[in-house]
């Protein structure tokens, strides 16, 4: 499919109005086209916002099981047609459904308690809530920081420093690619006896956020906000944007930010070409 065909079909794709074959064709194009993926992500955010007003009740407890039951026949049929390759339909539907449910819940709760969250805060909280599940869909599963460093450079072109453990002892367990304010970001996950921590890394700058408190940590301005019980801290260091999220106290999150800032200064890296988009994360 050409880009113009995919973009014309995005609305129907998100509304699940396409046939299985059409979904596969769109998905195949999105796997190789960053520009169309960004259009898809922006349209998905818009769909979620429009749908939020119509959602009155919490999603059913058996939503995941119902989705599995409804798409299993299609996946089996596709697997029979293409025996050497696992059909991606189930993965697509589950990922979109999970993100949509989480985003709608975040938006509804945030709207009932005060001003709407900015795109960065809402997206970070959605991805972190997904990472709090017992089984997390990580692209890279390892506690070896050198492997994660190599993956960051190869996958997203990032050269950022990061800790192998949080101050509370939570250890790095892996990473995946997430989407923050329609931009790709690396999400590193830390877990231990306490709450799970997510650390998001990307290269885009951001404007000063609204509805957030400012703290000075190791000489760096760190902004804190809370949404649906998840605390979010973000700061800029070495041409990279760092965002941490956890169900932790402000002090714990600021300690984690301080550790990241110190490491970034002790292990400076060449950031590569800077991509400027000053309005990307306007809060």
Structural domains in the chain, sorted by start: 3-116 (no CATH), 121-266 (3.40.1000)
Name the token pair of 165.
């453990």
| Mean pLDDT confidence for 270-280 | 46
Q: How many residues does the chain have?
A: 283
- What is the reported pLDDT for 270? 52
Mean pLDDT in residue range 91-95: 50
Higher pLDDT pick, 281 / 203: 203
pLDDT at 210 over 70: no
The pTM assigned to this predicted structure is 0.59
Phi, psi (deg, nearest 5) at residue 83: -60, -25
Note whether 170 and 191 are within 8 A (CB).
yes
Residue tagged 């995005």 (tokens): 10
158-201 pLDDT, tens digit each: 888 899 999 989 999 999 999 887 788 999 999 998 889 999 99
**107-134: b (≥16 Cβ within 10 Å) or e:** bbebeeeeeebbbbbbbbbbbbbbbbee
Q: What is the mean pLDDT of residues 134-151?
A: 89
Which residue in 168, 225, 175, 224 sits closest to 199, CA to CA? 175
Q: What is the pLDDT of residues 212-264, one digit of tens each?
A: 899 999 999 999 998 888 999 999 887 789 999 999 999 999 999 999 999 88
Between 114 and 192, name the one with better pLDDT.
192
| pLDDT, mean over the chain | 75
Task: Supply the Cα-derived Rg of the chain in whole angstroms.
Answer: 19
**What pLDDT score does 173 carry?**
95
Cβ within 8 Å of residue 234, ≥6 positions away: 120, 124, 206, 209, 222, 223, 241, 242, 243, 244
25-82 pLDDT tens trace: 888 888 888 888 877 877 776 666 555 444 444 455 555 555 555 555 544 444 444 4
């Amino acid at each position: 499919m050409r880009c113009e065909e995919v973009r014309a079909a995005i609305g129907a794709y998100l509304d699940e109005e396409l046939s299985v074959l059409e979904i596969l064709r769109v998905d195949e194009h999105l796997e190789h086209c960053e520009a169309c993926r960004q259009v898809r992500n922006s349209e998905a955010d818009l769909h979620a916002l429009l749908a939020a007003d119509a959602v009155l009740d919490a999603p059913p407890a058996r939503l995941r099981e119902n989705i599995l039951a409804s798409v299993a026949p299609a996946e089996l049929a596709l697997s029979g047609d293409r025996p050497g390759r696992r059909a991606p339909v189930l993965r697509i539907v589950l990922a979109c459904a999970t993100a949509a449910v989480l985003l709608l819940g975040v938006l509804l709760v945030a709207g009932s308690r005060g001003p709407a969250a900015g795109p960065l805060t809402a997206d970070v909280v959605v991805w972190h809530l997904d990472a709090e599940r017992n089984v997390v869909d990580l692209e890279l599963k390892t506690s070896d920081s050198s492997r994660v460093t190599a993956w960051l450079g190869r996958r997203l072109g990032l050269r950022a420093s990061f800790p192998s453990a949080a101050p509370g002892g939570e250890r790095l367990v892996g990473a995946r690619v997430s989407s923050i304010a329609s931009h790709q970001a690396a999400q590193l996950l830390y877990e231990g006896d306490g709450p799970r921590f997510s650390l998001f890394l990307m290269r885009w700058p951001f404007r000063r956020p609204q509805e957030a408190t400012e703290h000075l940590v190791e000489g760096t301005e760190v902004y804190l906000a809370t949404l649906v019980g998840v605390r979010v801290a973000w700061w800029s260091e070495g041409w990279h944007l760092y965002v941490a999220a956890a169900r932790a106290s402000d002090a714990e999150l600021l300690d984690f930010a301080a550790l990241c800032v110190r490491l970034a200064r002790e292990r400076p890296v060449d950031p590569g070409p800077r991509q400027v988009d000053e309005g990307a994360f306007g809060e």
